[in-house]
Amino acid sequence: MVRRTRPAPQAAASSVTPVPPPVRTCVGCRQRASAIDLLRVVAVESGADQFSLRPDRRRAMTGRGAHIHPTAACLESALRRRAFGRALRIAGVLDTGELTEAIQGP
């Protein structure tokens, strides 16, 4: 019996196109940017009709998320326009303390 060898697989790297990172829209300035450059924000219920906005740096928290540039200007614009409530599809009181501290510092 003759043992046949298979030819080595050809490297098809030239035909594979790299996948671009996902693009999201900042709720503050409404500019589109790579999801890597934006901070994901989720709303965590802290009471009846009360929600706390929390930064999700690992992008692992459950629930609907909104994205924002980690700058004070975008945060101020989003809060002034009440964009978080619309983006997260929630109605009620939003506590922005933890998010403000994460973006602006202590």
Give the start-to-end residue ranges of the domains of the chain: 21-104
Which DSSP string corresponds to the chain? Answer: -PPPPPPPPP--GGGPPPPPPPEEEBTTT--EEEGGGSEEEEEEEEETTEEEEEE-TTS---S-EEEE-SSHHHHHHHHHHTHHHHHHT--SEEE-HHHHHHHH--
Nearest-CA neighbor of 63 among 47, 41, 48?
41
Per-residue pLDDT tens over the stretch 49-76? 899 999 999 999 999 999 999 999 999 9
pTM: 0.80
| Fold annotation for 21-104 | Hypothetical Cytosolic Protein; Chain: A; (3.30.1230)
Q: What pLDDT digit, counting tens, does each position of 26-54 carry?
A: 999 999 999 999 999 999 998 888 999 99
What is the C-alpha to C-alpha distance for residues 64 and 87, in angstroms, rounded to an integer? 8
